[in-house]
């Protein structure tokens, strides 16, 4: 799970987070986190984003409030999360006990040429989440910590925030369906039952 740089491999992290996922609901942020989540197995209980940068955490909150008995895991990137720092404050105020936000932090805008993000210059995302009032906020660097995060996402007291330090590797894309109507309808049918398709 560890690269020669001493950093976690992103696909191995996501595979572990989604191991025996049960009825976990997943929001995947745009870009590489989407491809990572899809590489772990395309699933109707995943809503993968191809755009709307900065939306992942808040989609997670709306879903968490609507489905309080389900566990919600948002997996996104550091660039995507940096675009929505205010969302961390909004989520902290709402205190959704069933929501975990996991940021795969490669300190890069990976899709656009690996330009450095703010986290490459010391901006502490986990510290920001802690300061807003997240129940748990941690930085993950080791495989056993990934397993602990996987368990927290399934049964820990939320809202939980985790910044997972990953290797800035460029991997082949693994693409889920791109059409939004398909993604919406398969997710709603899976979560709410086939009746959801009949409005």
All residues at 6 or more sequence positions from 59 whose CB lies less than 8 Å from its CB, including other chains: 27, 47, 49, 74
How far apart are CB 3 and another protein at their closest, in Å? 32
Smaller CB separation from another protein, 8 or 60: 60
How far apart are CB 147 and another protein at their closest, in Å? 27
Spatial separation of the C-alpha atoms in residues 150 and 154, rounded to whole Å: 7
**Residue ranges in contact with another protein by CB under 8 A:** 27, 47, 50-67, 70, 84, 86-87, 89-90, 93-94, 180-181, 183-184, 187-188, 191-192, 196, 199
All residues at 6 or more sequence positions from 133 whose CB lies less than 8 Å from its CB, including other chains: 92, 93, 95
How far apart are CB 169 and another protein at their closest, in Å? 28
Smaller CB separation from another protein, 5 or 94: 94
The edge-to-edge listing of strands for the beta sheet with 72-77 is 46-48, 25-28, 72-77, 99-105, 160-165, 136-140
Smaller CB separation from another protein, 55 or 106: 55
């Amino acid at each position: 799970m560890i690269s020669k740089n001493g950093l976690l491999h992103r696909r191995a992290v996501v595979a572990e987070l989604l191991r025996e996922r049960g009825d976990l609901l997943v929001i995947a942020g745009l870009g590489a986190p989407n491809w990572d989540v899809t590489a772990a197995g395309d699933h109707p209980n995943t809503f993968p984003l191809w755009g709307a940068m900065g939306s992942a955490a808040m989609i997670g909150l709306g879903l968490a409030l609507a489905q309080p008995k389900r566990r919600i895991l948002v997996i996104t990137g550091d660039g995507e999360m940096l675009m929505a720092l205010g969302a961390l404050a909004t989520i902290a105020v709402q205190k959704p006990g069933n929501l975990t936000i996991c940021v795969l932090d490669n300190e890069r805008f990976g899709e656009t040429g690996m330009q450095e993000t703010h986290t490459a210059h010391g901006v502490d995302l986990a510290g920001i989440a802690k300061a807003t009032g997240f129940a748990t906020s941690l930085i993950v660097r080791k495989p056993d910590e990934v397993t602990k995060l996987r368990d927290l996402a399934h049964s820990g007291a939320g809202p939980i925030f985790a910044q997972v330090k990953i290797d800035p590797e460029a991997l082949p894309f693994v693409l889920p369906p791109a059409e939004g109507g398909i993604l919406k309808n398969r997710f709603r049918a899976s979560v709410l039952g086939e009746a959801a398709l009949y409005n």
